[in-house]
Chains A and B, each alone.
Chain A
Amino acid sequence: MRRSSPYDDLEPSMWRTLLAGAAVFHATRGVLGRLCDAAERDDTVKVLLLNLGRAARRFSRHKQDDQAAVAAVVAAWAKELHAALDDPELAYDTRHLLAETLRRLDQAACRDPFLPMLRAVEVHARALYGEHWRATSLSLMHRRSHPRGADPAQDPYAVTAMTPWPPGPTRARVELHIFSDRFGPAAYAALPTLLTHECVCHVPARQDQACNDSEFAEGYLDWVAYEYLRLWAMKLDPELGPMVRKHAERLRDVLCGDVTTKAGMARQCGHDAARELEGWFETEYDMTPDESRRRVLRLAVELNVVDRPLKLKNNFVSQLRKPFPPYLDKALRGWREQTVTGEELLDRVVEALP
């Protein structure tokens, strides 16, 4: 029975709060998407989910070990579900959903769900980057507010991630920062998206600096990370996969909707650039949308591990607006024909500077 947190930066009671909530979400992940949707239109489900969070916080303070805390939260929530099911006025589909949730709750276990999520993403990301991959470790941290200070109804993603810079030569630490008061099913479903972003964009990156408003690292690569997540979602967890895809789209809308900050502008410029490049491959080479999209992904992966200044990579992204400048058009064709490497492509960008 664990009495301390497995994460150095997390107090035991905070760890138990996150663990208990995540244990319930993991056990019920096959119906979690429907629960989330139902909460938007049915107050009974909404209150149930709020009470789950309250129970997690209450029992985490009162119980002295992880297992007891998880068991207490599960029991308390099962009791609430039973009470809801006793209501004769309950809508038929809600009743069906809650009964299914209750059935799945039996599978709730006192196991860290966060690290396995990272490891699952890492398997795929390592395969992308090969020898450039850096082994990861996970830090789980608590934050005291919503990352965007947003209305939880519009932005329920009370979680962020980062990879501190610089990473070691062969290792990198991924940090998940969770606002436990708002750690609901949507935030849980967004975790694979955040971890994929870190693993695709930052863990293997070779460059001179980190910058959260880079149109390359947080824009173009972010778009690429979403595409990889679409490919990997069902392999990461077949039960949670559909919900992960859905909330990845929603989170993207939330983040891209904010063009008042430089980070938001960089994201939008980078996403636009990736789409322009995708369209270029499609029209210039008569490629299928599938192939052109994967060419964009491949170029991103290749450029990410070229050890060149991030500003130069940003400059490359800023030129991806059709029609492309002749030198860039030629260089990209060379890259497509494998006569120009990603490194040489960036060299051409330097040569073309004013």
Chain B
Amino acid sequence: MSAISRIGVLTAAAVLGEFTPAQLAAWCEEDVDTVVDLLANAGGLFRRLPAAAPGGPAEARWRVEDAQSLRHAILAEHAAPAGRRRDHAPAARPAVPAPATLDGWMARLRMAEETLMGCAEEPSAQGRRVMAGTAMNYLRQSLADVLPERRPWWEVDPAFADAAPESVATGTGTVTRWRLYADLALARLTVAAAAGDRVGKELLVDTAAKLTRPFGTSDVDDVWLRRLTGRFAELTLSLTRPSVHDTEHTAAPARLLSTLAWGRAMTDARGDVRKAVRRLAQVLRAAAASRSGTAAEGGSTCLFQVLDHLPYGLERVNVCALLLEILPRQLGYREEEQVVPGVLVTAVAGPRASRRLRMYADVIEEDLVQSNFTSGSALIGQAAHVVQDLAVTGARMDHTVLERSDRARRGLLALAGVPV
């Protein structure tokens, strides 16, 4: 047996502590017979254990008898003349890791971003929390690598991004500080949403503004930008519109709204993704800064929130525009503001209209949270189907509901990219 092989067996034995010869052989280059031979002739470094009780494993077990002596033996073998070993050494590799490479830096940043966007598909809050933690680790590491002052990555606070260079050259392009800001904000929002924590409006408004800044040229394309912005929109809406239906299992109603908002922004921008991002960011800033709903009876929902109780039983509500499309005309309301144009509306409604809107919101949300679909388009299709059902009940009071709902449904499906 060569010295290198012998070192391999001794080292594997030191790592395992107790083993069968077959186990030890799996940890080195030698076969079982060679391993047994070495164990038996290692001068008391190993001890063969007594045979197992009847019914136990048939193969003999060995144990390292003296770990300290074994370590000395390994080091002594290593200290043998280099020439003796060089001839037998298997393809050598550097044992100490190379310094962080640009590829590694970029891979960690992209991994963080992909993990954050992947949170959209994760059904459990705990799973999203773990994923956000993973992403935050990579982001802290990426940031630590580019900060002028060296410090352990786990001590790097997201606020340190202010000290990052304006732009990092990656070998394939650049990554700007704005991209790091946006990623870090997305990670913080994901953690907050998973934990059910409140997030200050300032962070949402500030992040929305940063989304419109240049992200550099490395790997930033329209699809990526659209995914990142879409995820931010979803988080913003789910954080500003917590819902009794939006349990830990899903953020489907917020995803429905964010997909609708994105669709509207794309329509307004005539298909230009970068313009749509700016448009959506503007809208989200307004949505984040708008007032939150008070707890109405039964709690707020994502699609319907009561903002104020007004005289004469009137209520100021913030509601998904889609629900107004299927409200019978007898149940009056007055629109005050388009919070997210074509998607979220602030309106003043009478008590019956308010109750009816709340009922619609409950039905749609309950249906969405039980959905197995995760894509925004699929959720739109599902919502369109429920809207149609609700319209049928509304049509008993007002025959125009069916016509209006049909128009709304076609608009929805068009946004989802379904030909109608």
Contacts and interface: CB of A to CB of B under 8 A. Distances in A.
Interface in A294-336: 294-295, 297-298, 309, 311-312, 314-315, 318-319, 321, 323, 325
A266 B154 CA distance: 20
B127 A309 contact: yes
A315 B111 CA distance: 12
B78 interface: yes
Interface in A198-240: 213, 215, 228, 230-232, 234-235
Given A269-B108, A290-B11, A321-B141, A315 B133 contact: yes
A127 B26 CA distance: 6
B22 A315 contact: no
Nearest to A215: B111
A289 B103 CA distance: 24
A218 B309 CA distance: 55
Contacts of B154: 319, 325
Contact of A297 (B17, B27, B114, B127): B27
Contacts of A311: 122, 127, 130-131, 134
Interface of A: 124-125, 127-128, 130, 213, 215, 228, 230-232, 234-235, 245, 249, 259-260, 262, 264-266, 268-269, 272, 275-276, 278-279, 282-283, 288-295, 297-298, 309, 311-312, 314-315, 318-319, 321, 323, 325, 338, 350, 353-354
Contact of B14 (A291, A309, A323): A291
Nearest to B195: A354
Nearest to A275: B97
A245 B91 contact: yes
B26 A128 contact: yes
A309 B136 CA distance: 18
B61 to A, nearest CB: 12
Contacts of B74: 288, 291
Contacts of A292: 95
A354 B114 contact: no
Nearest to B31: A235
B110 interface: yes
Nearest to B23: A127
Given A272-B104, A321-B141, A354-B191, 5 more contacts: A125-B26, A127-B22, A269-B107, A294-B11, A350-B130
A259 B103 contact: yes
B114 A265 contact: yes
B11 A288 contact: yes
Residue of B8, B27, B75, B132 ringed by the most chain A CB atoms within 10 A: B27
B244 interface: no
Contacts of A213: 114
Interface in B356-383: none
Interface residues of B, number: 51
Interface of B: 7-8, 11-12, 14-17, 20, 22-23, 25-29, 31, 74-75, 78, 90-91, 95-98, 103-104, 106-108, 110-111, 114, 122, 127, 129-134, 136-138, 141, 152-154, 191, 219
A354 to B, nearest CB: 5
A230 B26 contact: no
Contact of A290 (B7, B97, B104, B141): B7
A184 B235 CA distance: 49
A187 B11 CA distance: 33
Nearest to B137: A318
